[in-house]
Amino acid sequence: MDRRALPPLSRLRPFEAAARHENFTAAAEELGLTQTAVSKQIAALEADLGVVLFERRNRAVFLTEEGRQFGRVVGAALADMAAEAARLRGARHPGGLVLHCQLCEAFYWLMPRLAHFHKRHPGLEVRVVSSLAPVTEVAEPFDVAIQTTGRPSGSARLAFTASDEIFPVAAPSLIDESDLPLSPAGLAEYPLLSHRVVPQDWMDWPEWFTAIGQSIPRDARIVDFDSFPLVLQAAVARQGIALGWRRTVTGLIADGKLVQACRETVARPAEISVFRGTRRGDPRQADALLAWLRAELEVA
């Protein structure tokens, strides 16, 4: 190995943390440094490599393609070193797989299906870690992660994407059966339930109406919640109409708890992203989980 080709190792930890979070301030907090120190280390690394690793726009940073690829390599290398150091110190590396999943998808889509995976792969343990946060804020290393496309992913390695479609849903008793399906304008007669976040990482009512070629009605009343599971539970409890992602709400519709409120839907060909993580486990087990997820998500 030509050690002269290695960049100064003191610059790699700030870069890896910044790439994982896609945020200099979060990296600085994790490492106990100032944001300025992280920024200087990364600028020096960019100068040494002769490439731009981050784009700076509107007081935010975004990985370039070169930065994303380098982040995957550095992240995997540091994860391997941490795992080996733990082994040498006598720590037992836990077996099985860690699957990070957004809370709503974990509860409504993943968990009802996971028994099928265990039946196909008996003895292979899968520990599901659910979260409202994107993968850039995950503290624990994971083997596989599932989240909405467009949410921050940092240097996580994309395995594949899957489609979904989005349409309004409501409790059957909220809308008179003779009024179904509602027109898009008719939706505004009911409270429109929303999970709003900053930044808005997934489709909300204004974007949905735009996607079907209409403007959101001026008299629409949007009611905000701080998580999508609460939005769905509010819809089930007859508090209004929610946007439903087909993969998430299919079970609730089958159980008679929700109905599709209008005919219009928005197809999203790459709405779900599945990532391979840097946790040092058995890659064959991760491959088996990814293959099963591909089949369940009907990805060719």
Sequence length of the chain is 300
Domain locations in the chain as residue ranges: 3-88, 96-300
For residues 97-123, give the mean pLDDT: 90
Residue 207 has pLDDT above 90, yes or no: yes
Q: How confident is the model at residue 200 (pLDDT cuts 50, 70, 90)?
A: low
What is the C-alpha to C-alpha distance for residues 109 and 226, in angstroms, rounded to an integer? 20
State pLDDT tens for residues 24-41. 988 888 888 999 999 999
13 burial class (0-12, 13-18, 19+ CB within 10 angstroms)? middle
Q: How confident is the model at residue 232 (pLDDT cuts 50, 70, 90)?
A: very high
Q: Residue 93: what pLDDT?
A: 53
Q: What is the mean pLDDT of the chain?
A: 88
Residue 215 has pLDDT above 90, yes or no: yes
Q: Residue 83: what pLDDT?
A: 65
Domain at 96-300: CATH architecture: 3-Layer(aba) Sandwich (3.40)
* Percent of the chain residues topping a pLDDT of 70: 93
Output Rg (C-alpha) for the chain, integer angstroms.
Answer: 22
State pLDDT tens for residues 143-189. 999 999 988 888 788 999 999 999 999 999 999 988 999 999 999 99
The two three-digit tokens of residue 1, written as one number: 């190995």
Residue 235 has pLDDT above 60, yes or no: yes
Assigned CATH topology for domain 3-88: Arc Repressor Mutant, subunit A (1.10.10)
22 burial class (0-12, 13-18, 19+ CB within 10 angstroms)? buried
The single-letter code of the amino acid at 288 is A
91 burial class (0-12, 13-18, 19+ CB within 10 angstroms)? exposed
Task: Report how far Cα 26 is from the mean position of its chain's Cα atoms.
Answer: 18
As a three-state string, the secondary structure of 50-88 is CCCCEEEECCEEEECHHHHHHHHHHHHHHHHHHHHHHHH
Helix (H) or strand (E) holding 169: strand 157-170
Residue 300 has pLDDT above 60, yes or no: no
State pLDDT tens for residues 60-96. 888 998 998 898 888 878 777 776 776 676 555 556 8
Q: How confident is the model at residue 271 (pLDDT cuts 50, 70, 90)?
A: very high
Sequential DSSP letters for 202-270: S--HHHHHHHTT-PPPTT--EEEESSHHHHHHHHHTTS-EEEEEHHHHHHHHHTTS-EE-BS--EEEEE
The shares of helix, strand and coil residues in the chain, as percent rounded to the nearest 5, are 45, 20, 35
What is the C-alpha to C-alpha distance for residues 215 and 218, in angstroms, rounded to an integer? 8
What is the C-alpha to C-alpha distance for residues 31 and 278, in angstroms, rounded to an integer? 19
For residues 262-278, give the mean pLDDT: 94
Q: Residue 231: what pLDDT?
A: 94
For residues 205-229, give the mean pLDDT: 93
Q: How confident is the model at residue 269 (pLDDT cuts 50, 70, 90)?
A: very high
For residues 13-26, give the mean pLDDT: 87
